[in-house]
Amino acid sequence: MTYDDYHQQKKVILTVATTGAIHGKDANPNLPEQPEEIARQVAACEELGASIAHVHGRNEHGENDAAKLQEVNDAIRAHCDDIIIQNTTGGQAPYENRVAGIRTDPHPEMASLDMGPFKRDKHIITNHTRNNIERLAVEMQAKGIKPEMEVFNSGQLAEVQRLIDEGMIEEPPYINLIFGGSFTPARPRNLLNMVDNLPDGAEFNVLAVGPHQLPLTTMAVFLGGHIRVGMEDNLYYRRGEKAQSNQQLVARTVEILDRLDRELATPDEAREMLGMPKKRVEQPADGD
């Protein structure tokens, strides 16, 4: 993944993260929380060119709820043509909540996989042990679920390499580099350093929080990387102006890519780039 990839017109995989586990409609009333409104925004983003949807579930009060992932997945499949569903396995303290993301029926094609603990706000630490990471990685591998490895700081790249070395990750590794907030400081030099330290053959994606979303995801394109945008990570379209929808953020990214003469990968092209089956033959969950 280099600047040469940009010049060789490598296609860009666009992930939309419509809603997360923390802020809700109190922070931006346009944030989707319930399955139907999430699915409608995912469908609009797919039409614009998004090939992956990063998915969280929320209950009827808008609170994070892994048990709702099934309902959200079903709604997305009903509204969308072929977008890749990437369920979260992060942000949930008990392992039983984390693993719910890879035990929907049918299993998702992808799932996030946190590479370690990280801090949220003043009083919250999202804990994630090596044992949990391995258990999730092994189950994803057995089920043919492609992990998107979430790297919250440069030290967690060592955990990525360890999983690769121990045969728990299929080629090519797909790594999500996260910047801003309480994660890696959102500076261009830090992005360059992280990319320089990626494992050989890795595909990478950039997620940046709040006002850093637009500049760092754009920078990722020049480095041959992929992009994640959406209201999970950024509630604003510009300073002082809240985003009207996820599709508004996706449309801006699509316009930037067009001006940079870069094409978006279709879902099938994304599958091929990430070493996934081109057409998913969905199987019922195995009752685990």
Determine the pLDDT at residue 1.
59
The band of 94, judged by pLDDT with boundaries at 50, 70 and 90, is confident
Q: Which CATH class is domain 3-273?
A: alpha beta
> Which pLDDT band, with edges at 50, 70 and 90, does 123 fall under?
low
pLDDT of 97 over the 90 cut: no
So what's the pLDDT on residue 215?
97
Q: Would the pLDDT of 79 be above 60?
A: yes
CA distance 193 to 188: 9
Q: What residues contact 47, with CB distance under 8 A and at least 6 apart?
A: none
| pLDDT tens-place string over residues 16-37 | 999 998 899 999 999 999 999 9
